[in-house]
Each structure stands twice: as C-alpha cells, then as structure tokens.
Amino acid sequence: MILDKVEPELKNLLQRNVRFRINNKTVREGRLMLYHIKDFYLSFTLKTEKHPSKVYEIPCPYEISSSGSTLYFHYENDIIYKKDHKTKLLINSLHKTVGKKSKFFDNTILIETENLV
C-alpha cells in the first residue's frame, strides 16, 4: 500500500524546513513539526514565521518518489487508468460534470527540504 511507502519518507522530513510546490508555485512552506495520516488524507503541521502552527491537508498520492532532497507526490491520472481509454474517458467525463477543478487533479506535488542552519 502507498501509505507504507509514505511513512518512512515523511519521518525524514520532520524538523526540517519544507516547501510544498505545485506547477512551480509555492503553496505552503515552513518547518514540518508533525504529520498525521488519517483515512485518505495526510495532515502536515507547519511552523511558520507568522503562525506557530498551521495545518495543511492533502489527499494521499497515487504514487511517491524521491530524488535528492525532493519528495514527489504523484496525482497523475495516467497512474489510475494505465492506458485504458474507457477508464480515461470515464474520469474525464466525471471531472467535467463536477465542475470545480482540484489543484491536485492530474498534477504532482513537490516537497522540497532544506537542512536547518
């Protein structure tokens, strides 16, 4: 299960400055104080300059990978439908009927870390 892969990666991020990025845009940043996995969501408690604790919640990714000091949470639809055109058509038609597009839809979240000084 994907959560078994996520847990060791997240332990390495504790007490480090992290930056959550989507499409080369920083959406959250701060020192990772705590993480919590519940059902299909990951909650991150970040310590920022303005707030002593800020919670950022994201859905569990379809896949994860890492490279150097960056952790990738993959939400690409290709992972779900695996080249099956019927499933791709179904996902796209459901997406169109829902209307509001999630920022995670068919994207990758980068979690970049910095060593504390």
For residues 75-85, give the mean pLDDT: 79
Choice between 107 and 81, residue whose per-residue pLDDT is larger: 107
Q: What are the tens digits of pLDDT across the range 15-58?
A: 999 999 998 899 999 999 999 988 889 999 999 988 889 999 99
CA–chain centroid gap for 116, Å, is 22
Count the Cβ atoms, other than its own, within 10 Å of residue 54: 15
**What ranges do the domains of the chain cover?**
2-74+108-114
d(CA 18, CA 14): 9
What Å distances lie between residue 107 and 17, 20, 53, 103, CA to CA?
23, 13, 26, 7
Q: Are 73 and 35 in contact (CB under 8 A)?
A: no
90-110, pLDDT tens digit by residue? 877 776 677 667 787 788 999
pLDDT reading at 70 higher than 60: yes
Token pair belonging to 71: 């952790």
